[in-house]
Chain A
Amino acid sequence: MVDLTINNIETSMPEGSTILEAAKSLGIHIPTLCHLDLHDIKMVNQVGTCRVCMVEVEGRRNLLPSCSTLVTPGMVIHTNTKRAVRARRMIVELLLSNHPRECLICNRNQNCELQSLSAELGIREIRYKGPRLHTDKDTSSYSIVRNAEKCVLCRRCETMCNTVQTVGVYSAVHRGFETVIGPAFDKPMLDTACTFCGQCVSVCPTGALTETNDAADVWDAISDPDKIVIAQTAPAVRVALGEAFGLPIGTSVTGKMVAALRRMGFDKVMDTDFAADLTIMEEASEMIHRIQHNGRLPILTSCCPAWVKFIEHQFPSLLDIPSTCKSPHEMFGAIAKTYLAEKLGMDPEKIVVVSIMPCLAKKFEAKREELSGKEIGSNVDYVISTRELARMIREAGISFTSLPDEDFDDVMGESTGASVIFGTTGGVIEAAVRTAAAWLDKDNPSPQIEFKALRGIEGIREAEVEIAGMKLSIAIAHGLGNARKLLTDIRDGKVQYHAIEIMACPSGCVGGGGQPYHGNNIEVLRKRAGALYSEDESKTLRRSHENPQIQKLYEEFLGEPYGELAHELLHTHYHERDML
């Protein structure tokens, strides 16, 4: 332990602690900007670039950055001397002097760390008049908008992309005042190996990295009397949307979300969870088929579009192992524009499918050519994130918290507990195992439902589950860095599994790049996951194949799971992409 004094309070800290950590343990707040410690997902940005957290240390001539200075025995620290506070203000004023001060119309207005910092320091004027960096906005991708003018060079995105996700799209390029954090050769994002997971957006303190905004197109479709606009909502949205309206973290707002979508003017409000059940029908069939016919193993889940793009870029030699199942919202679109259209007597060309997702990669996915059919066009027309939905609800003047709870529309609105847990790491594979267990163990009157061995928060987990006397070895990874480790071992033949679930975002979709900002607190993601497991427990039907609407869909339309029509509508293929 190291003894030290901060603001005249004596304390002792473990060796290797920073001044910032020591101050925090005493309840002393030191403003920070670039610093970000999401220890549990190995996202630690401790580069000390912004110099906002400067403090005075007795005996040291210069101020020291508290986030990256370790405590030493007998250190006497003052965090709020006139000199330290002045230096902090000067730093922020300098940052603001090179910042487009258009907060009123910025995507991050009222939700921006730079804005909050400026308010916290009481900055009322910017004394420095100097040049401003001018760059073009990168709107090339369908998922992420990069506006380097709003960048404060904190390097959080770079740490997230390179260290946590191991994708390596971002680096500081060029020099001095012209420095920007961007891709190699100043390439547009669309031409990079970016997976569009959006985790860089989740940690960006300003409006430099934001989601593309598709709300205007959705409003246009809603107000077009010729269009039948169908909303579908992903599992993770319902346990995070409430946060945007001040509800406690981990509140499930399914009923209010449905009511809000109806009031916004969607013609049908349906559930991606229904399609998650459908995914399990196909994926569990494919898994059993591959196991029983000596097919290629392991089978990898394919629900996560960021992860799919990752394997296309980084492991092209393994492209035969992911399941060929489309992701649930794409399956939904394909069924909505065929089966549902026929059933309800609607013209498929007039149907507009809007996916409401916790995800930015789904926006890119919806534009994939292979995910559109000749007669039906794109499976999914628009994707909006949880954050965009929250803004649209406000824009429509809906008082969210006072809404009644409403149910999804029929036909594609029913779902089981298995589909709900798709939104968290381990959920998809547990849902698949639930159905596989019931199918393979036909004589067992009550096959196992909960496979708790598959749950947890570790980045890579493995478990063995026994089904009908057969031992299935399963692995789970969340976060692309963990996925890379697992895939490298598979490629090199070091490990053998039957099935693997991979999610690009740490914690799975509850931590998706399109979710309300977690405020740099990973506990938020755990509470969202907890809410999903509670919703699963509260359902009577907890296995995908028990969903009566799914059974009807196969009876009336699709025929056999993994059959011919299912292949045409519900399965896809992958292709190799450049490494960079």
Chain B
Amino acid sequence: MAQEIVEVTESYPALDAFYDSLPDKNGALIPMLHKAQEEYGYLPQEVQLYVALKLGIPASKVYGVATFYSLFNLERKGQYRINVCLGTACYVRGSEAILEALENELKIKRTETTGDGLFTLSSIRCVGACGLAPVVMVGDKVYGRVTPDDVRGIVDEYLGKAGEHND
């Protein structure tokens, strides 16, 4: 699916400074993308174009690397990232059903972000808290022994926070 094309008009001083600080400019692509993601949370198209121009390499190469590593996000993530553990212990204790319940509650599929930009839903592998299985994480906070019925409560907690924020 083609994405919207954005013109390179902005400058990115943080990226420029980072580039200048690199002792070896060869192989700068992945460090530059890491830095960009750290700065902007994801890799917008215009940032990828800027990196391509900065390094003098084709944009197709930058996009190739950005799409190869699952660590790089190509889309803006939600304010709250909900991660459901699908590691073995959580899985056998029914985390798939929790993920489905979250999909229904948020009306998005896994890896997607809600239209209001609040939640991104993903699955992760073992978080090392198997004793609490099944585990859901929202940001850095861990919820243990979650059941599908708990899902609404967890989501509401953050909806409430977002509401307070807005007032």
A interface with B by C-beta (< 8 Å): 162, 167-175, 182-188, 191, 579-580
Contact = CB atoms under 8 A, between A and B. Distances in A.
Contacts of B62: 184
Interface of A is mostly: loop
A188 B45 CA distance: 15
Interface string B34-61: 0000000000010011001100011111
B67 to A, nearest CB: 5
A186 B52 contact: no
A425 B122 CA distance: 56
A176 to B, nearest CB: 9
Nearest to A168: B58
B134 to A, nearest CB: 27
Interface stretch (B1-9, B81-89, B105-113, B157-165): B1-9
A171 B48 CA distance: 14
22 contacts: A168-B59, A168-B60, A171-B58, A171-B60, A171-B63, A171-B64, A173-B60, A173-B63, A173-B67, A174-B68, A184-B58, A184-B59, A184-B62, A185-B2, A185-B45, A185-B63, A186-B1, A186-B2, A186-B3, A188-B2, A580-B52, A580-B58
Nearest to A187: B2
Interface of B is mostly: helix
B125 to A, nearest CB: 17
Interface residues of B, number: 21
Lowest 8 A-B CB distances belong to which pairs?
A168-B58, A171-B60, A184-B59, A171-B64, A184-B63, A184-B60, A580-B59, A173-B64
Contacts of A187: 2, 5
B5 A171 contact: no
Interface string B60-77: 111110011110000000
Given A173-B67, A185-B3, A186-B2, A168 B61 contact: yes
Contact of A184 (B1, B48, B68): B48
Contacts of A170: 60
A327 B63 CA distance: 35
A185 B68 contact: no
A49 to B, nearest CB: 14
A183 B60 contact: yes
B2 A172 contact: no
B67 A175 contact: yes
Contact of B70 (A175, A183, A186): A175
Interface in B1-30: 1-3, 5
A188 B3 CA distance: 10
Nearest to A192: B60
Contacts of A174: 67-68
A188 B2 CA distance: 7
A401 B59 CA distance: 48
Contact of B58 (A169, A175, A186, A191): A169
Nearest to A579: B53
Contacts of A188: 2
Nearest to B70: A175
Contacts of A185: 2-3, 5, 45, 48, 59, 63
A327 to B, nearest CB: 27
Interface of B: 1-3, 5, 45, 48-49, 52-53, 57-64, 67-70
A523 B115 CA distance: 59
Contacts of B68: 172-175
A270 to B, nearest CB: 41
Contacts of A580: 49, 52, 58-59
Nearest to A580: B59
A174 B5 CA distance: 18
Nearest to B63: A184
A232 B17 CA distance: 57
Nearest to B61: A171
A191 B70 contact: no
Contacts of A169: 58, 60
Contacts of B1: 186
A182 B2 CA distance: 11
A556 B19 CA distance: 64
Contacts of B59: 168, 184-185, 580
Contacts of A173: 60, 63-64, 67-68
A185 B75 CA distance: 12
Contacts of A171: 58, 60-61, 63-64
A184 B3 CA distance: 10
B43 to A, nearest CB: 11
Contacts of A167: 58
Nearest to A174: B67
Contacts of A191: 5
Contacts of A182: 60
A168 B59 CA distance: 8
A173 B72 CA distance: 13
A173 B59 CA distance: 11
Contacts of B45: 185
Contacts of B52: 184, 580
B9 to A, nearest CB: 12
B50 to A, nearest CB: 11
A218 to B, nearest CB: 30
A254 B66 CA distance: 51
A306 B5 CA distance: 23
Nearest to B2: A186
A175 B69 CA distance: 8
A575 to B, nearest CB: 16
A172 B69 CA distance: 12
Contacts of B49: 184, 580
Given A168-B58, A182-B60, A580-B52, 15 more contacts: A167-B58, A170-B60, A171-B58, A171-B60, A171-B63, A173-B68, A175-B68, A184-B59, A184-B62, A186-B1, A186-B3, A187-B2, A191-B5, A580-B49, A580-B59
Nearest to B6: A185
A386 to B, nearest CB: 29
Contacts of B5: 185, 187, 191
Contacts of A172: 64, 68
A516 B80 CA distance: 57
B135 to A, nearest CB: 27
A255 to B, nearest CB: 45
Contacts of B3: 185-186
A172 B3 CA distance: 17
Contact of A162 (B2, B53, B58): B58
B89 to A, nearest CB: 26
B111 to A, nearest CB: 14
Contacts of B53: 579
A171 B59 CA distance: 9
